[in-house]
Amino acid sequence: MKVVFVLAVLLSVALARPQSRDGDAVVVSAENDNIGVGGYKFSYQTSNGLSSDEQGEVRNEGREDESIAVRGQFSYVGPDGVTYTVTYIADENGFQPQGAHIPQ
């Protein structure tokens, strides 16, 4: 019985280990434009296929209905080897993602 338990533990540890080498990914490019006033912009790309860029702007600055409107996109390589891209807007109407793989 102990042998079965030990084998089960070893199997679960082996299956729990990371299956990819994403931990070895490095940042290929990065940009950050944010002085803390008004809008902002950032982007990055990594060696394992991740990328993102986003920009935001303050709307109705100084008014009671002040808000931030954000536009951006991110991409990643799925387990199937396909690159997925999501574009989005986030504003007073909520988060609005779009992508070929996202149901309408």
Model pLDDT, residue 102: 87
Q: What is the pLDDT of residues 6-61, one digit of tens each?
A: 444 444 544 454 555 567 889 999 999 887 777 899 999 999 989 999 999 988 88
**Is this structure's pTM higher than 0.85?**
no
**19 or 99, greater pLDDT:** 99
Model pLDDT, residue 65: 86
Q: What is the mean pLDDT of residues 73-95?
A: 93
Residue 2 phi, psi dihedral angles, 5° rounding: -65, -40
User: What distance in Å separates the CA atoms of residue 53 and residue 48, rounded to the nearest whole number?
Assistant: 16
User: What distance in Å separates the CA atoms of residue 50 and residue 75, rounded to the nearest whole number?
Assistant: 6
